[in-house]
A and B are shown apart, each in its own frame.
Chain A
């Protein structure tokens, strides 16, 4: 057996392409854009304006007026169109200039970029495609049954802008089994990834750690956490998340989504709905969604601290107990590649099931030590 030369491994990172992923991106809760005002959204390296037109449709245009470059997001909504604050040019949601009050007629080719939108399950999405093609039908965002049901709570929603980090970092979470213990206070017991087409899935089961308080209903015991989370396209993940307590199941849907502001910052958003338990008031159910959301928030905040200080790394050094980082990035690459240049290996089915024996041993021991230390401190 030959030994590898004993030289330090170098971190490699190619320059980040000035290109944003093709696909649906959630901008937030629809209701937050429905106040009759124009809303500014910094995304995809540019500025967008979002408003509600006279038909109640949410519309998204490039914010910069094609006349003299005025910022439409600083304008006003007039007759369902967006009016530029600079010279009052009126732009329709279809991207066409409808009227210039001080001019007899609108010039030829008075058209700006209108972004395809999807308003579904209380969330607003825009379709980004550097090639300018319409949305791909097969990549539609699946409907979430609970989101339109009275048996579930409304969205409890969080939004945070993250500077100094590229959005690939959060997508890496799909495969990063071990960080769920260290950063998110989880205790994974089962972990599997499946990538196929435009969908990347993580199946993760976990259990109560014992050394970190997990939100629970009035002292009930957490038996297991079961999560099936899929990215549908580059940025929108639906997580079917069930907390199993000795007193019953706590069913929730967690959304984890983001959109790039530029190549070095992004807006992370996540939201949760909870199935209302039997015999419980709506207020109580909403409060439990908030409690769960705040617990998840802690994990994401710790993610952010890691991302903002880490190096971008294209050649991670992996042990066997790490997830399929390279295969995930291969899958993710399809969204940064022209449609006709996507390689088969980027979309072909790949499965990875992790052996949790060694991580479980190591983490049980670490948790036991944490509990013992805490008990010691208490008795002092």
Chain B
């Protein structure tokens, strides 16, 4: 389409330089996500497309292609994250 496409660059979160995301899998569906906990109450979760498809709660809550419906999050994954913290697989920054 004429003009060359500028290279697409996306800057990473500066906070990840010192404390990156950690891989965690859900015990229920096996979805693999990356997570980061700033504190017990503060969590980031990065999903990937295939794992969103795998999530059972998501499937139950949200038939695809309904506009405007919000899936607030997966309770099973939340529990899996808590267990990962207990196992020491998911660091909690505020505890350092």
Seen from chain A, the residues whose Cβ lies within 8 Å of a Cβ on chain B are 17, 131-132, 138, 140, 142, 192, 194, 196, 201, 203, 228, 230, 232, 238, 314-318, 320, 324-327, 329-330, 333, 337-338, 341, 343-346, 348-357
Contact = CB atoms under 8 A, between A and B. Distances in A.
Contacts of A230: 68, 70
A355 B11 contact: no
Interface in B44-73: 44-49, 52, 65, 67-68, 70-73
Given A228-B70, A354-B42, A138 B65 contact: yes
Nearest to B39: A355
A357 B39 contact: yes
B75 interface: no
A326 B13 contact: yes
B93 interface: yes
A350 B10 contact: no
Interface string B5-43: 110101111110000000000000000000000111111
A174 B25 CA distance: 28
Contacts of B12: 326
B39 A326 contact: no
A355 B14 contact: no
Which DSSP category, helix, strand, loop or mixed, fits chain B's interface? loop
B38 A355 contact: yes
A318 B14 CA distance: 7
Interface string B72-91: 11000000000000000000
Contacts of A351: 43-45, 47, 73
Contact of B1 (A131, A142, A325): A131
Contacts of B72: 192, 194, 203
A320 B48 contact: no
25 contacts: A192-B72, A194-B71, A194-B72, A196-B47, A196-B71, A314-B11, A318-B14, A320-B38, A320-B39, A324-B44, A326-B11, A326-B13, A326-B14, A329-B10, A333-B10, A337-B8, A338-B1, A338-B5, A343-B8, A349-B52, A351-B73, A353-B42, A355-B40, A355-B94, A357-B41
B44 A346 contact: no
A348 B52 CA distance: 9
B52 A355 contact: no
A227 B1 CA distance: 41
A130 to B, nearest CB: 8
A142 B93 contact: no
Contacts of A314: 11
Which DSSP category, helix, strand, loop or mixed, fits chain A's interface? mixed
Nearest to B67: A142
Contacts of A142: 67-68
Given A140-B67, A232-B68, A341-B5, A348 B49 contact: yes
Contact of B41 (A238, A324, A325, A355): A355
Nearest to A346: B10
Contacts of A353: 41-43
A341 B11 contact: no
Contacts of A356: 41
Contact of A17 (B6, B40, B45, B94): B6
Given A343-B10, A353-B41, A348 B70 contact: no
Nearest to A130: B1
A232 B13 CA distance: 23
A346 B11 CA distance: 11
A320 B8 contact: no
A344 B39 CA distance: 28
A78 to B, nearest CB: 35
A86 B56 CA distance: 63
A316 B13 CA distance: 9
B18 to A, nearest CB: 10
A327 B13 contact: yes
Nearest to B6: A17
Q: Which 6 A-B pairs have the closest CB atoms?
A: A142-B68, A355-B42, A349-B47, A355-B41, A326-B13, A351-B45
A324 B45 CA distance: 11
Contacts of A318: 13-15
A354 B44 CA distance: 9
Contacts of A330: 10-11
B8 A341 contact: yes
A194 B39 CA distance: 19
Contacts of B11: 314-315, 326, 329-330
